[in-house]
Amino acid sequence: MTDFPDPAHAGGEAIVPIARDAMAPLRLQCAAHHVACIDIDLSGNPDKTLLLERIARAVEYPDMQGFGRNWDALEDLLNDLSWLHARGYALLVHARAFDDHAHPQDIAMLSDILSSTSARWAEDAIAFRTYVVRGDA
């Protein structure tokens, strides 16, 4: 039994908390279902530009020079992800980035984008979920 939603199942909650010790089982489930498991490092309270760049780099965006570094560009990027050749997408974000971020308006916007992106992928029966890792030091 797992403490997190199935990473291969589309729909349901878009952003869910998981315990730090659930990361290894989550990674195994992702690998078993060909779901891209993407680590998002938002430590250090990055400003909007750096936050967007870190996400684009984490998903291995192939055209960083052409990345617009704005919310619309991030949403476009997350609604494509074709270069990852996966059956679904699981983003792992550390809790500190969400709970103690110095730029709460950026986290609110990011959360909205992650939720709408999850809903958009679910229309095609493709899983896209963000797991917020709890228990980070």
Residue spans per domain, the chain: 34-134
DSSP one-letter string for the chain: --SS--TT--SS-SEEEEEGGGHHHHHHHHHHTTEEEEEE--TT---HHHHHHHHHHHTT-S-GGG---SHHHHHHHHTT-GGG--SEEEEEEEHHHHHS-S-HHHHHHHHHHHHHHHHHHHTTT-EEEEEEEE---
Q: Which residue has the higher pLDDT, 43 or 79?
A: 79
What is the pTM assigned to this prediction?
Answer: 0.89
Q: pLDDT by residue (tens digit) across 103-125?
A: 788 889 999 999 999 999 999 99
